[in-house]
A and B are shown apart, each in its own frame.
Chain A
Amino acid sequence: SQKIEQNSEALNIQEGKTATLTCNYTNYSPAYLQWYRQDPGRGPVFLLLIRENEKEKRKERLKVTFDTTLKQSLFHITASQPADSATYLCATILTGGGNKLTFGTGTQLKVEL
C-alpha cells in the first residue's frame, strides 16, 4: 500500500544548528510534495512545494530536496532558532487519490537555546 512516513520521534537540536527532517514515501511517485508547519493549537501553514523535476527548493533559511530514486524528501532549516520549534508535515497526493492531499504523521522539532 502507498504510504507517507515521517520520523515520529521528536527532533531536538541546538540553536544555530541545521535541522533535517525526513519524509519517505513508498509504492508511488508523486509529481509534487508539500511541506507545512503546525504550531500547537493552530492549523498547518504551507511552507514550500517541490516538483518531481526539481532537486532542490529554497526559501530564506528553508531548503527542501526531492530524491525520486530514494523516494525521499528532506526538509532543512539552517541557523535554527527556538521560534522554529513546531511540528512539520509533508504532504502529497497518492496515486488515484483524486484531489485528496494526504499528510505524513509529522515530526516535532524543538530548538533549544
Chain B
Amino acid sequence: DTAVSQTPKYLVTQMGNDKSIKCEQNLGHDTMYWYKQDSKKFLKIMFSYNNKELIINETVPNRFSPKSPDKAHLNLHINSLELGDSAVYFCASSQGLGYSGANVLTFGAGSRLTVL
C-alpha cells in the first residue's frame, strides 16, 4: 500500500494549458505539502496544509492553486502553464504541524511536469 501517492507520474503539456496533480496519503497525517524540485535538484517548498487549512504559501505565483478537500488529499492546479514550470513536483505529508523541525516528511514518488 503506497503511503503517499501522486498522479500522474508524468505530464507533458503545451504552454498556456491548465493541469492538475493529485495527491493522497493513507498515513493518517495531519499536514501535507507540495515541494518543487528544479533541474538542479533543489527541493523547495511551495505550500503546506494542516487539516485542510493553508499554513504556508511560499510566494508562489497565483497560477498555482492548491486545494485540500480533506486532510488525506492535497491537489495542485496550475493555470496558464509556462516553460519555467517544468520541474518535478513532490507531495509529502507529516504528523502534526512540524514547527519544531522534528516532524519527518514522507514523500510521494513525484510528478514530472514538462511544458513545451
Contact = CB atoms under 8 A, between A and B. Distances in A.
A31 interface: yes
B53 to A, nearest CB: 12
Contacts of A99: 31, 48, 50, 55-56, 97-99, 103
Contact of A43 (B92, B100, B104): B92
B115 interface: no
A78 to B, nearest CB: 23
A44 interface: yes
User: What bracket does the count of chain A residues touching chain B fall in?
Assistant: 20 to 34
A111 to B, nearest CB: 19
Interface in A33-59: 33-34, 36, 41-46, 49, 51
Interface stretch (B37-45, B60-68, B79-87): B37-45
Given A46-B106, A100-B58, A93 B41 contact: no
A10 B50 CA distance: 36
Contacts of B42: 103, 105-106
Contacts of B48: 99-100
A36 B103 CA distance: 13
A109 interface: no
Contact of A93 (B43, B101, B109): B101
Contacts of B50: 99
Contacts of A34: 101, 104
Contacts of B109: 41-43
A32 B100 contact: yes
A46 B41 contact: no
A34 B103 CA distance: 9
21 contacts: A32-B100, A34-B101, A42-B109, A43-B4, A43-B90, A44-B105, A44-B107, A45-B107, A46-B104, A46-B105, A93-B100, A99-B55, A99-B97, A99-B103, A101-B45, A101-B101, A103-B42, A103-B43, A105-B41, A105-B42, A106-B41
5 closest A-B pairs by beta carbon, nearest first, are A43-B107, A93-B101, A32-B101, A99-B98, A103-B43
